[in-house]
Amino acid sequence: MKIQAVKGTRDFYPPQMAVRNFIVDGWKTASIRNGFVEYDGPIFEHLQMYQIKSGEEIVEQLFNFEDRGGRHLAIRPEITPTLARMVNQQINALPRPIKWFSVPRLCRAERPQKGRLREFFQWNIDIIDVEDVLADAEVVYCSLDYLRSLGLTRNDVVAKISSRRLLAAVLKNIGIPEARLDTLYPILDKKPKIPAEAFVEMLEKEIDDSDTVGMIVKLMDVQSVDDIPDLVELNDEEQAALDELAQVFAYLKQMGVEEYCRFDMGIVRGLAYYTGMVFEIHDAAGELRAICGGGRYDNLLSDFGGPKVTATGMGMGDAVLEILLREKGLLTDESVPVQTLDYFVACLDADLFGKALKVTAALRQQGHSANLNYKTNALKKQMKAADAMNAAKCIIIGGELKESNQLVVKDMKTGEQELIDAMTFLK
């Protein structure tokens, strides 16, 4: 019976696993460096949790099922609802600030395409209960800090930053009623992905007045905060939103990443739940989907039955990131070896096999990684095996042990050999 993997899922053979570890370990290191602590939730949750955050449509994108207790469950498509649930449950006990990260495995029942898989890994960082936009700046900084540590420069990636608060204020200013905003956001979010005429057409379906549509088109092209006052006369709320956004940029400058960052009114994020700063990091060439995205969300915890607590965060998947790193030559099969070994133990004489086993065990107990060749075949074959495992050194057990109780230690890079007293390992 020949069995296949499920369509759209990935098998991680050792070479693919090494790449996944390279990415996930990098995420963890950057998180810890930036003072975040790790959490995780279950792989499945009550289906309802995802409906609350994303509406009824989300069910179509979920792997959902009923358990024997009749509960409607779903494999998690994202971890933010879990985060909200967990923080709510311990809201009074958790030490502040809540700076948490996670690297969950997530599943979405989507049609697989470039940079989008049905099963993937996503880095999440969130800062909860910090009003100051310093938390927003920290989230953007940490994302860039990770990408920079991989060798990506300002020529490779750009952080496009905007503000939902500012956008909402300006849209209301030009006459869009508050109640229409949530239907408008997903359309505005589509702008960079569709032709200009299609964008205008979509807007015209929602908005009768063509002047307003023209104004929105102009607004979405604004590339500098300073240009906004030229388009609309700012009221207090708009000015406050603008000042807040300027403060995010000031913090990012102080942290030394301003060259990666720019304002882009076109960054909207489709989801209704953002309320403040929003951002996406893209490849500079603009050829791929966003590498990551996030922003401030003020209502999620209260939507999940908790108190009104502010939060800001970011999610970065592994798929687009891997494509970009490979394109830039920053991730190659050589840069992430499947295996490295401190010692490979080669035994040339079947009589000495027990000693070889003893040496291998001694190396491991000293904390070295070690493999023993399972057969006492020709030295050349064993050296080939040692090379395949990227062994740094090879211990050769043969005549020298019988003659003078010594072992040959060969440096696999230089080829140099030295003799050591066998008692080092054979006590």
Residue with tokens 């209502």: 299
Cβ(137)–Cβ(251) below 8 Å: yes
Closer to its own copies at the Cβ: 25 or 421?
25
Choose which of 23, 54, 79, 100 interacts with its own copies (CB under 8 A).
Answer: 100
x/- map, 383-412, its own copies, by CB under 8 A: -----xx-----------------------
Choose which of 374, 403, 413, 416 interacts with its own copies (CB under 8 A).
Answer: 374
284 touches its own copies (CB under 8 A): no
x/- map, 333-372, its own copies, by CB under 8 A: -----xx-x------------x--xx-xxx-xx-xxxxxx
Q: How far is the CB of 155 from its own copies (least distance, A)?
A: 19
Site for its own copies in 42-81 (CB under 8 A): 42-46, 48-49, 52, 63-69, 71, 73, 75, 81
Closest CA to 303 of 101, 88, 127: 88
- The length of the chain is 427
Choose which of 56, 57, 70, 90 interacts with its own copies (CB under 8 A).
Answer: 90
What is the SS3 assignment for 45? strand
Closer to its own copies at the Cβ: 37 or 285?
37
92 touches its own copies (CB under 8 A): no
Closer to its own copies at the Cβ: 117 or 228?
117
Closest CA to 385 of 337, 345, 338: 345
Cβ(150)–Cβ(139) below 8 Å: no
Q: How many CA atoms lie within 13 A of 95 on its CB side?
A: 3
| 410: Cβ contacts below 8 Å, ≥ 6 apart | 393, 394, 395, 396, 416, 417
x/- map, 106-145, its own copies, by CB under 8 A: -x-x---------x----------x-x-xx-----x---x
22 touches its own copies (CB under 8 A): no
Secondary element (H or E) of residue 256: none
Closer to its own copies at the Cβ: 97 or 399?
97
Q: CA triplet 258, 19, 317: central angle to 5 degrees?
A: 50
- Piece of the chain touching its own copies by CB under 8 A; list 18-26, 163-171, 236-244, 316-324: 18-26
Angle formed by the axes of helices 14-33 and 134-149, to 10°?
140
Question: From edge to edge, which strands make up the β-sheet containing 391-397?
Answer: 370-372, 341-347, 391-397, 406-411, 417-421
Q: How many residues in the shown chain lie near its own copies by CB under 8 A?
A: 93
x/- map, 28-47, its own copies, by CB under 8 A: ----xxxx-xxxxxxxxxx-
Site for its own copies in 303-332 (CB under 8 A): 303-305
Report the largest interatomic distance among the alpha carbons of the chain, rounded to a whole angstrom: 97
